[in-house]
Amino acid sequence: QVQLVESGGGLVQAGGSLRLSCAASGSTFSINNYGWYRQAPGKQRELVAVISSGGSTAYADSVKGRFTISRDNAKNTVYLQMNSLKPEDTAVYYCNAQRTVAGVPRYNAWGQGTQVTVSS
């Protein structure tokens, strides 16, 4: 089992920056990928960014060039640096840890979420 705790959310004006952190504990050795997802009111949860155990990253088109995902393996922590924030980035942001076997997801863990609000 893996436990995830997010932090760093808050209220920021459009154009501002925030850095989210996700501290992982438990059986983190088994995790292949970490990701950040977000869910705005009345909308489906969507993938924002993902980072593999090898450091490869991928981003949603809506955040490319503005958000950066990174991981500190020594601290078992994943970060999401968010720059040039827009009101449409307002959502609850969730950290995800995933174990895959032969590319097939076999285990998912979620954090409790952290609110990000961007005012115009």
User: Is the distance from CB of 48 to CB of 35 less than 8 angstroms?
Assistant: yes
- Distances from the Cα of 3 to the Cα of 26, 31, 84, 100, 120, angstroms: 6, 11, 30, 17, 34
pLDDT in tens, the chain (120 residues): 999 999 999 999 999 999 999 999 998 888 899 999 999 999 999 999 999 988 999 999 999 999 999 999 899 999 999 999 999 999 999 999 999 998 898 999 999 999 999 999
Residue 21 has φ and ψ, to the nearest 5°, of: -125, 150
> Which residue shows structure tokens 């995800």?
96
- Note the pLDDT of residue 71: 94
DSSP for 4-38 reads EEEE--EEEETT--EEEEEEEEESGGG--EEEEEE
- Note the pLDDT of residue 30: 86
Token digits of residue 69: 């995902």
Closest Cα to residue 67, out of 115, 113, 19? 19
Residues found in the chain: 120
- The neighbour count for residue 8, using CB atoms within 10 Å, is 16
